[in-house]
Structure 1
Amino acid sequence: MAQDELLDLVNENDEVIGTILRSEANSNPKVYHREIGILIADSQDRVLMQQRSKNKKVYPLYWIVSCAGHVSAGMTPEEVAHKELQEELGFDT
């Protein structure tokens, strides 16, 4: 995924008010943008986690949710969830 993909800029009510580059959104805690996180659990309530790459700028080698990603401009969180599940885990949903 491109570091400088375009994201929807949203207000505190989750209304789209413009766009912002991912690199700008991640470096400015005063702006709102959308991200998704997915937890995958089995019938015994065990949760699949993944370890971030050592090459990640933020929290390298940390354990995180099963799947996560930024919501690209014009996409819905649901669309991004399906895309990220395929990209990160190879799951067709």
Structure 2
Amino acid sequence: MTSDELVVLVDDDGHAIGTAPKASVHGQETPLHLAFSSYVFDRDGRVLLTRRAAHKVTWPGVLTNSCCGHPLPGEPLDHAVGRRLSYELGLPPAPADLILPTFAYRAVMANGVVEHELCPVYRVTVDGPAVPNPEEVGETLWMPWEEFAGAVLRGELVISPWCAEQVALLVKLGPDPMDWAPAPESDLPPAARVAS
């Protein structure tokens, strides 16, 4: 990934209002921008968790969901999911199912750095092992979804703030992640409705 990678800035209604260099948007005045979160599962229903690399600007060293990232301008979100899963975790292409199309959050670190993202959530099912890229991922851990979700809801795991909010919404969709019904692409915010 290049240091001048652009992210898509959005308004409160999810419309694109411009772009900005990724390196410039994560600070104390972070503008709302388009992103995604993904939850990777294996055929046994285990979720792949990652620990963010220690040099990350936001929530370094913190346990979180499988992969997060930003679509490039004009890039369909499901393509961005696949691109980042390959780059961060060495995973082969697999369908990305849209699960939470309008998730958004704002979180502030103790040092004042803000994350502020319109962040649709995807489910991906894989057969192969993850090969983490140390530039992005400190370590990986597979955990049964029920065990992970229960620990999150009980406050027993220190995880990223967006992951905590997402898990609370995902468990409402049912106990088995394989049974979650994908949302239609038309439910995505306008800025994310990019033709494949």
Q: Same fold, TM exceeding 0.5?
A: yes
Give me the CA root mean square deviation.
1.7
Determine which structure has more spread, i.e. the larger CA radius of gyration: 2
Instruction: Provide runs of 4+ in structure 1 moved above 3 Å.
Output: 42-45
Instruction: Tell me the TM-score normalized by structure 1.
Output: 0.83
Unpaired segments ≥5 residues, structure 2: 94-196
Instruction: Tell me the TM-score normalized by structure 2.
Output: 0.43
Partner Cα separation in structure 2 for residue 56 and residue 91 of structure 1: 21
Partner Cα separation in structure 1 for residue 26 and residue 57 of structure 2: 11
**Equivalent residue number for residue 47 of structure 1:** 47
The answer to whether the Cα contact below 8 Å between 2:7 and 2:19 also exists between their aligned partners in 1 is yes
Partner Cα separation in structure 2 for residue 57 and residue 24 of structure 1: 11
**Equivalent residue number for residue 87 of structure 2:** 87
Count of residues in Structure 1 that have an aligned counterpart in Structure 2: 92
Q: Percent identity of the aligned residues?
A: 28
Partner Cα separation in structure 1 for residue 12 and residue 3 of structure 2: 24
Unpaired segments ≥5 residues, structure 1: none
**Equivalent residue number for residue 56 of structure 1:** 56
**Equivalent residue number for residue 7 of structure 1:** 7
Partner Cα separation in structure 2 for residue 16 and residue 57 of structure 1: 24
